[in-house]
Amino acid sequence: MSDPSLPTELKWIIAEHLCGDEATLSALSLVSKDWLVPSQTSLFSQIAPKITSPRTLTNMISFFTAYPHFAACTRRLLLRDGELESPHIELQFDEILSLISLMPNLHALTLDDCRIVSSKPSDLYATFRHPCNLVVQDVFIDIQTLALLCSCLAGHTLILGATADVFGWVDPKSFKFIPPQSFSDMRALDISKLSDSVELESLADPWPMIILRSCSDQLRSVGLPLTLNMQSEMCMSWEFLKTKGRHIEHLRLDMSETFILAHENLILSSESDEFGGIPLGWEYGCLSETSPNLKSITLVLFANSPDIYNHNRDTSRATLLQWRYALRLLSSCPLTVTHIFVEFWTLSSHVPDRTLAIAGLVDWKEWNEVLGRFGNLESFRFVAPGTHWVEGHGETCEFEPSTTEFVLNWEAYVREWFTSPRLRSMEHFA
């Protein structure tokens, strides 16, 4: 008589696919001894404890010290405040290191909705190296502590979210205590959303510049802000690409924060060129020269209705000029590019807008011509916010689904403008 039990390999597969279903996994672990290991492994592969007091980390350290086999299962760890209406909870830097030191297979550490407090540097920091990546979301952290944390992590990936509050510019003297090698090991860096929280013009030596200066020229994946009406930010990003962009393979440029005041009288470049006019002050470079090994490029653009909350902004005009600028960038890309993504920044979460008014402003004939130049192009996709593909980030972040009704409407509209059979038959969505 054949054995009615499931093969071990199948149990592992089932448990892995149920990793988000804690109740089912807990029940499976009680069914039989055979289910215990795979279900518990999946349960602890991704953990996001609700931190309601500073004691929470201390208790976690005690638990994983007592059960090291659970700690060895953890691949992703999210530390965030469990009390949404309370002020940011303080987490001790030493305790964070003590916790992740118990997790040898941890791939990604995400810090969100908390304040990181660092005590006096100890000798431990000089020797501590953990092979995990770092994602910083809504976190208060000074630049020295961030640099120290990065120097302790060997995962080579740093992602700073839009609400990351990195400070330290109040006392410029503090910058000299930042080890120059703190960010030098990075291979994937994303600071593309910094425009939401940093005004470069107001800072003598802002932290984004400190990070970019500290990085080596060995970065493979990079996300940069490119707010077109902010000259200091444009100069910072283009200077970085010109000096350290040679080995970049995956590039994300966020232009969505660009705005134009309604009363501004912009002097545009010639409207007669193939891309249409853009403001003369908007600096742009040649990506085939700065990043000759580029494989994928993600352009974050505005794609929704005018900003009804601020009548001083001419959002429609800013949007059209963003798209013209984006086409210039694409035309300058090396022919090594295989993936092109346009990520939408929209007001759809606040303003119901299912129209294609912005799509109607774009010269798709020129886009069709530029895209046709890329003989190795495998996909051209419109994606929802947060769905850009960057090598290594898929293991680090949980993304929203890439296809929404708004995105699908755009895809259907633009597809009609493609004359190339290759572009029309291309699979736009994964």
- Give 248's contacts (C-beta < 8 A, 6+ positions apart): 219, 220, 221, 222, 241, 291, 293, 294
Answer yes or no: is pLDDT of 331 > 90. yes
Last residue of a domain, one of 156, 184, 216: 216
pLDDT value, residue 196: 47
**How far does the chain reach from its first CA to its final CA, in angstroms?**
44
**Whether residue 162 sits in one domain with residue 21:** no
Read off the tokens for 389.
């593909």
pLDDT range class, residue 287, cuts 50, 70, 90: very high
pLDDT range class, residue 132, cuts 50, 70, 90: confident
Looking at residue 194, the DSSP 8-state letter turns out to be G
Stretch 394-406: mean pLDDT: 54
**Whether residue 208 sits in one domain with residue 122:** yes
Q: How far apart are CA 18 and CA 85, in angstroms?
A: 31
Residue with the bigger pLDDT between 106 and 388: it is: 106
CATH code of the domain in which 98 resides? 3.80.10
Got the DSSP string for 252-279?
Answer: EEE-TT---BTT----B--TTSTT---B
Stretch 215-232: mean pLDDT: 89
Answer yes or no: is pLDDT of 170 > 50. no
Residue with the bigger pLDDT between 200 and 285: it is: 285
Burial class (CB in 10 A: 0-12, 13-18, 19+), 170: exposed
Stretch 288-308: mean pLDDT: 83
DSSP-derived pairing of the beta strands 221-225 and 89-92: unpaired
Domain membership flag for residue 312? yes
Are the CB atoms for 415 and 360 separated by under 8 Å? no
Last residue of a domain, one of 160, 193, 216: 216
pLDDT range class, residue 288, cuts 50, 70, 90: very high
Domain membership flag for residue 92? yes
Domain membership flag for residue 351? yes
Q: How far apart are CA 303 and CA 383, in angstroms?
A: 11
**Whether residue 173 sits in one domain with residue 240:** no
pLDDT in tens, 177-212: 566 667 888 888 888 877 544 555 544 557 788 888
Q: What is the mean pLDDT of the chain?
A: 77
pLDDT in tens, 226-253: 988 888 889 999 999 999 999 999 999 9
Last residue of a domain, one of 192, 216, 240: 216
* Owning domain of residue 33: 1-43
**Whether residue 95 sits in one domain with residue 28:** no
pLDDT in tens, 44-62: 888 888 888 878 899 999 9
Read off the tokens for 135.
């994602």
Answer yes or no: is pLDDT of 286 > 90. yes
Number of domains in the chain: 3
Domain membership flag for residue 188? yes
Return the ∠ at Cα 375 (arms to 373 and 379), rounded to 5°. Answer: 95
**Whether residue 107 sits in one domain with residue 28:** no
Q: Which of 278, 217, 213, 212 is nearest to 248 (CA)?
A: 217
**Whether residue 417 sits in one domain with residue 283:** yes
Answer yes or no: is pLDDT of 223 > 50. yes
